[in-house]
Chains A and B, each alone.
Chain A
C-alpha cells in the first residue's frame, strides 16, 4: 500500500493555520532549538529498591529533523519519552523545548497539561483513538476542546487527513479502519496543534514493512513541512536505516551515531 505521493496540500495552509494558532507560535530563533536535553537523570523509587532508569542523557533534535531512539528492553526509552512528554518528573538535568527551558532541576513551567496540549504531539504503538468519535473528530478533538470553533477545527483536521491520505475515511469510526489507517489518523491527531515536538513510541510496531515505511515517510514529511522535531522510539529493523541520526540508549546513557539516512521518498 502506498502513502500519498502527491505534494502536501498543507504547505501553504499549514502556515496559515500556524499563524492562527498564536499561543503555540514560536519565534524562529526559539524554534531553531527544537529539543535539547542535557544530563537528564531519572530515578524511580528510593533507598534499596531505587532504579536509575536514566543515568545521563544528552540529546539534541533540530526542528524539521527526525531522529531514532533505539536501545534494548529496559534501557530507559519509555522513561525518556515520559520525561520529555512532561508526564513524569526527571530527577536532575535540563530539558529545553523550542528554546524554552521546561526543566532545570525542577519544572520551569506551571501548566504541564497546557504544555502537552500545545507543544507536544504523541504517537503511540497502538493508535488509541477515541472509539466513540469518528476519524475527523478524533483529529479535531484537541482544538475543539481548546475552544476553537468546531468548523475551523474540522477544516484543519480534514487538511491533515488529506495530507495523510485518509480523508476519504474521515466519517468512519476508528474500529472500521485498518491498522495503518488508524496509525495515520493518530499521527494527524498528534499534528493538529502544530506542536514543535512529536514523540512517537514504536509507531510502526503493528504494521507491515511497507506501511511502517509509509508512516516514517509521513513523519519525515511532516517534520519538514511544519518544522517539527520528532523523536521515534523503535525496535523496528525495517525503519532504523531511514534515520540520519540515531541515539542509542543503553543502561540509561545515550550515545549518538550517524544513521544510514536511506531515502524512502
Chain B
C-alpha cells in the first residue's frame, strides 16, 4: 500500500510544519496550564510534607492555618504533648506578607513568614531541604529563607519593625499560594503578627489608663498587668503533632478533639482542605482555560484540514473517478489531521518543557497529563477531520470529467 497522506505531507512539508508549529505552541500552552494546576497541587502537598506533621491541631471549627485564620493558645502544645501516641509537638505561625531586603538592592518580596521554635531539624514545622547555611538556633532575629526569595546568606531582611539575618537557605519551601517561605523564630513571629506601631501602642495605653475599671487607685500593678497582656500575643496558628510509632492518626486525633476542645486534621483531611477548598476556584479557572484551548485547537485543526482538503477537491474527484475507495480518501484526510496533531503535540511538549522553569510559580509537567494530552489531541484531530471528510465524500466523481 501507499500512504497518500504521508506523501502529501512530505510534498507540502513546509505548510504542515508551520501549521504544526503554531498548533504546537497552543498545545504547549495547554500542557503548561495543566502543569500550573499540578504545580499548585504539588505545592500544597509539599507544604504538608515539609511541615513534617501527622496532625494539625487548630482553633475549634476552623479549617486550619492555611485555609482560614486559626488561633490556638501557645501553651496548648504542653497538654497535647502529654497525650498518648504523641511523639513531638510544635507551635507554628503563618503570615503572608511583604518581606523587605535591606541594604543595597533593597526590594520587597512577597513571602510566607513562618514562626517556628528553633528546635533544629526533624521537629515538625522546621525548614527542610537546606541548601546552604544552617538551621535557626537562636530565639531572635535569625531567618532561613527559601531560595526563591532571592535572598543570600548574610542578607539582612526586615519583617515588620525587626531586622533578621539570613542564616540558611532552603529549597521547595513554598506556601500553597506558591509564595516562598521565610522562617523566623516563633517569638518574633508572634510579635510580628500582633505588633502595632508605636503611636497605636501609646494611644492604646492612654485609653486603658483612662478606663477607671482598669486603673483603680487602690490596686497598684493592675494597670501594668492589663497593658502587658494587651501588648503580647500568646497565640499561635496551629500546633503540629508527630505521632509515636504504631499509632494511627485518627486514634490520636480523637482524644485531642474531645478533651482539648480543638479541631484536629489528619494529613489526608488537610490535603482535602488545601486541594478541594483552597485551590478549587483556581482549578476551575484553569479547567475553563483548558476547555477553551481545546476548542481553539480543534477549530484550528478542523479549519486547516478543511482548507487543505478543499484545495484538493479536483484530485479527490479524479481519485474517486478512477475508482479509489471512499475509505482510502477518508483515511488520507484523517491521517493528515493526525499527522498535524502529532507534529503539534511534539512541538508543544518540547515548548512546555523549555518554558516551564521560567514560570514564577512551580509548573509540574506530569507524564500522565502528557499522555492524556496526546489522547485528547488524537480525539480532537479525529473530530476535526470529520468536516473535511464529509466534504471530500460529497465530491462528485463526475466533476473530474467536467463539462
A interface with B by C-beta (< 8 Å): 78, 81-82, 85, 87-88, 113-118, 122, 124-125, 128, 130-133, 137, 140-142, 144-145, 147, 150, 173, 189, 201
Contacts and interface: CB of A to CB of B under 8 A. Distances in A.
A81 B12 CA distance: 34
A122 B11 contact: no
B319 A87 contact: no
Given A78-B403, A114-B323, A122-B321, A131 B398 contact: no
B2 interface: yes
B10 A132 contact: yes
Contact of B401 (A115, A132, A137, A201): A201
A227 B201 CA distance: 114
Interface of B: 1-2, 4, 7-8, 10-12, 314-315, 318-325, 328, 396-398, 400-403
28 contacts: A82-B398, A85-B401, A87-B321, A87-B396, A87-B397, A87-B398, A113-B320, A113-B324, A114-B323, A117-B324, A122-B318, A122-B400, A124-B400, A124-B401, A124-B402, A125-B402, A130-B4, A132-B7, A132-B8, A132-B11, A133-B2, A133-B7, A141-B2, A142-B324, A144-B1, A145-B324, A145-B328, A189-B322
A113 B393 CA distance: 13
Tell me whether chain A's interface is mostly helix, strand or loop, or mixed.
Answer: helix
B8 A122 contact: no
A85 B318 CA distance: 12
Nearest to B10: A132
A145 B1 contact: yes
Contacts of B7: 132-133, 137
Chain B binding surface, main DSSP class:
helix
A131 B65 CA distance: 68
Nearest to A133: B7
Contacts of B318: 122, 124, 128, 130
Identify which of B7, B12, B318, B401 gathers the most chain A CB atoms within 10 Å of its CB: B401
Contact of B400 (A88, A114, A128): A128
A130 B319 contact: yes
B8 to A, nearest CB: 4
A82 B401 CA distance: 7
Contacts of A117: 322-324
Contacts of B320: 113
A133 B11 CA distance: 8
Contact of A122 (B10, B12, B322): B322
B12 A85 contact: no
B328 A85 contact: no
Contacts of B10: 132
